[in-house]
Amino acid sequence: MPPERRLVVQVPLDVAGQRLDRFLATLPDLATRSRAKSLIDGGRVLVDGTVRKAAHVLRAGERVVITVPAPEPAGVAAEALPLVVLYEDAHLLAIDKPAGMVVHPAPGARHGTVVNALLHRLGALEGVGDPERPGIVHRLDRDTSGVLLVARTPQALAGLARQFHDRTLTKRYVAIVHGVVRASSGVIDQAIGRHPRERQRMSVRTRRGRTAVTRFEVVERFPGATLLRLAPETGRTHQLRVHLAGLGHPIVADRLYGGRARRDRGAAAAALAACPRQALHAESIAFVHPATGAQVVVRAPLPADLERLLGELRRVATA
């Protein structure tokens, strides 16, 4: 494998006044702002010997040193990681993905993913979709737990993908959100698109949003929090998190969409603040089996961390 490389660039006069990340993205070895920003955030970019932020404004004559890491090896390695299997047959399986586990490898995160674990359990899965994410029909965010479907054959992959596209599957989630939701149920119908300024986030405040619909119902109310059951009718990126934040009730411990930004008060505040990850769980999924035509419903029990949070909220509510 080739070693990491060190690039040295002196800022020319015509580049003075540009942001550091914009300038780095013009270099052939980097090519994109996201790649440039990842190097900056990783402390691999020095300006006159000092680590600077992506928004640093360059001056002519500054010496920029970039340490480019060695490329990741091609392919995805099988790893003996534990998987909780909820359903399995010759065509597909469903697992209970734990919070903190990424679904498939990405640059800088090639190990410890669901795909690494699947390759160890099932073998190569050749021809079942993208070689970097074989068998993956849909995704859950890193910190969302719950039911994840995986195809074992090309036919199962196509059949499940068609149901996701046609919105004929039924997905149910549960979430603990900040604040007391007054309506017993409702529909959030707000288009979702990229945030106009923070590109890593999605938003309902966008000019080019795509249709997004989420149904919700209140399961239980607590001082300062509510347990909701959610039924997304569409599958936009971060849909549930964005919709609930837009409703004024962000998911507890959702760092990206305001779950820790709120200054909750009262006896429940400590329990909410101690939640280690966003309180969102994919509770169930119902679909038509792509080989047999039978209706299948797979459920994942609420994980221990969210059970503990609910227990503490109930204790506070009855104190």
Residues designated catalytic: 141
DSSP the chain: -PPPEEEEEEPPGGGTT-BHHHHHHTSTTT-SHHHHHHHHHTT-EEETTEE--TTPBP-TT-EEEEEEPPPPPSS---------EEEE-SSEEEEEEPTT--SS-BTTB-SSSHHHHHHHHH---TTSS-TTSTTB-S---TT-EEEEEEESSHHHHHHHHHHHHHT-SEEEEEEEEES---SSEEEEE--BEE-SS-TTSEESS-SS-B--EEEEEEEEEETTEEEEEEEESS--TTHHHHHHHHTT-PBTT-TTTTTTTS---STTHHHHHT--S--EEEEEEEEE-TTT--EEEEE-PPPHHHHHHHHHHHHHHH-
Tokens of 274: 């101690």
How many angstroms separate the CA atoms of 193 and 294, rounded? 36
